[in-house]
Amino acid sequence: MAALTQKKAFYISNAIKFILLLVCGFLLMVPFIWMISVGFSRTANVQMPFPPKLIPKDPSWFNFNIVFENGQIFRAYINSGIITVCSVILGVTSSLLGGYAFSKGKFKGKKVMFLIVLGTLMIPMEPRLIPMYEMFNKLGMLNTFWPLFLPALVNGFGIFLCKQYFDRLPDSLRESAQMDGASELGIFFKIYFPLTGPIAATLVILTFIWSWNDFVWPLVVLNDPNLQTIPLYLASFSQENGTSLGGLTMALATVSVVPIIILYLFLQRFIIQSIALSGLKE
């Protein structure tokens, strides 16, 4: 009888947790649902619906047709795509190599260097804007894509995450490969790299989101309208039209987040797995 009561209490507890999580998830999704709803509302271009409604009275593809008929959105997509892909490749590769070096490597000053890497996490982007701008200005790289993805080479959070992940992998794999005469790069790429699927997928998602949504730094270094990224194009469109074209603006915002949603749906299962294996889960 006691076991039955305990089992019943367990199911009730899980049901309450599920309902609470469902309610919290819905509340978090409301702004996105409202954004999509306004994007499908043609009359929102004249006056934003008030009070806000999750289902528009006049659903129409008009706003989305206008968005895709404008060639600038495709140019902005290409620009953001180039920057994001380069940032992901450089950021993930450097983070994996740095995490491996700090986890398995043995060299002088490793702890100090790792503390310096962690210290970069305490410096926000704003104080770095002027020094970075001056540096890329002297290199003649302003108004190009180089300043937008080269900083991804040093990602303190990514290196820390990878180090925690590699710490969970056995050192015996490296020692066995060293006995066979393998080099450090050979050990990394042939033995450890195939095991980094979960953490690499997590870094891909995080780096993709950071790069795709970046607004301040591209605004500082890019002046050519033909080089505008998705956030810059959305901001310039909103600044020109304000709320007079609210439906079109929301349709554009909806289109801008589609790549992130698609990528997350494909790679979401790796996030929990990588966090659990990296030692961040309590």
Residues 104 and 236 in one domain: yes
The answer to whether residues 83 and 155 belong to one domain is: yes
User: From the CB of residue 18, how many other CB atoms can be counted at a distance below 10 Å?
Assistant: 10
Residues 15 and 74 occupy one common structural domain: no
pLDDT recorded at residue 182: 84
What total number of domains does the chain contain? 2
Average pLDDT over residues 254-271: 80
Residues 161 and 223 in one domain: yes
The answer to whether 161 and 95 have CB atoms below 8 angstroms apart is: yes
For residue 218, pLDDT beyond 90: yes
Pair 176, 42 in one domain: no
Specify if 282 maps to a domain. no
Average pLDDT of the chain is 84
CA distance 197 to 202: 9
More confident: 31 or 277: 31
pLDDT at 242 over 60: no
- pLDDT value at 235 more than 50: yes
Co-location of 258 and 130 in the same domain: yes
> Does residue 83 share a domain with residue 65?
no
Q: Which domain holds residue 120?
A: 70-277
Out of 69, 84, 114, a domain closes at 69
Last residue of a domain, one of 54, 69, 84: 69
pLDDT confidence of residue 279? 47
pLDDT band of residue 277 (cuts 50, 70, 90) is low
Q: In this predicted model, what pLDDT tens digit does every residue of 13-25 receive, in sequence order?
A: 888 989 998 999 8
Q: Are residues 42 and 83 in the same domain?
A: no
Residue ending a domain, among 34, 69, 104, is 69
Q: Are residues 60 and 158 in the same domain?
A: no
Same domain, 75 and 63: no
Q: What confidence score (pLDDT) does residue 64 get? A: 86
CATH number at residue 124: 1.10.3720.10
**Same domain? 270 vs 145:** yes
Over the stretch 146-174, which tens digit does the pLDDT of each residue have?
A: 999 999 998 899 999 899 889 988 888 88
Would the pTM count as exceeding 0.75? yes
So what's the pLDDT on residue 13?
A: 84
